[in-house]
Copies of this chain bind each other. A is one copy, B any other.
């Protein structure tokens, strides 16, 4: 058995999942994109919300993870999303990630039933932890109530940390509620529970509060600038950097952000298939895309290595 993974810090990307025109996953494009992210210094939170992970079958996710491992990419910089509605699926994905040596897993709570109790969510995590039964398991809780509608309360984190110390490793807080992130930083970060902002829009305050970094969609398209703030957040220009990041993000967020980012990679790489999304997501219209391009040009937005992402 390998040793437990080291603690994560830094900038991670919930990696966009590229599809072929027939909606099947494009492993070659995925490998190229992940390779560039790793090279730039970004960790791989594959199979997040941005990845359309819940639009993929378990077999598709296992296949894509194996494709990355087959390239020899460092598993200790990967944190695959493994949380689903059905614990047998969550167990299968989690076990595979742990056995591959991944740094951890990012785990949504089951999200079909709404208004469920903390007791029910505690049991959900406990059932998976018991079934995986591996000391190398490191779970990052995925708190994203705007999408999942099922959140992870501070009380639940406290209970999980007590019951599974060492296994409950941290959180991605995508609540969009800074007071919640601040409370997590204050109460749990000192216990070695690593708080990752769910968006680079609060990277600076997260780092000032002792947090571990961010796991953010925008790292797919704006990694250099996000990494620069992570590395130089104690410099005098940090506030300015944060504002610039927020400006770029605001442009993307005028549209549903996953189709918008994919459309921009298609544009910058010249590989139109990159724009493909699975339903229920929908590509931007031509008008929307031209407006997005104009605003990004005005923002001097660049993806210098995009051409290398194209199918070729």
Contacts and interface: CB of A to CB of B under 8 A. Distances in A.
Interface of A: 23, 49, 54-60, 85-89, 92, 109-114, 116-117, 119-121, 123-124, 126-127, 146-150, 278-282
A120 B282 contact: yes
B149 A23 contact: no
A100 to B, nearest CB: 20
A279 B146 contact: no
A123 B87 contact: no
B112 A86 contact: no
B279 A54 contact: no
B89 A57 contact: yes
Contacts of A59: 88
Contacts of A110: 54-55, 279-280
A55 B146 contact: no
Contacts of A126: 279
A151 to B, nearest CB: 12
A49 B115 CA distance: 14
Interface centre among A49, A60, A121, A282 (most CB of B within 10 A): A282
13 contacts: A23-B87, A23-B127, A56-B88, A57-B58, A57-B89, A60-B88, A114-B146, A114-B147, A116-B281, A119-B282, A123-B279, A127-B279, A149-B149
Given A112-B111, A127-B23, A149-B114, A120 B55 contact: no
Contacts of A92: 57
Contact of A88 (B57, B86, B120): B57
Contacts of A117: 280, 282
Given A146-B114, A147-B113, A54 B85 contact: yes
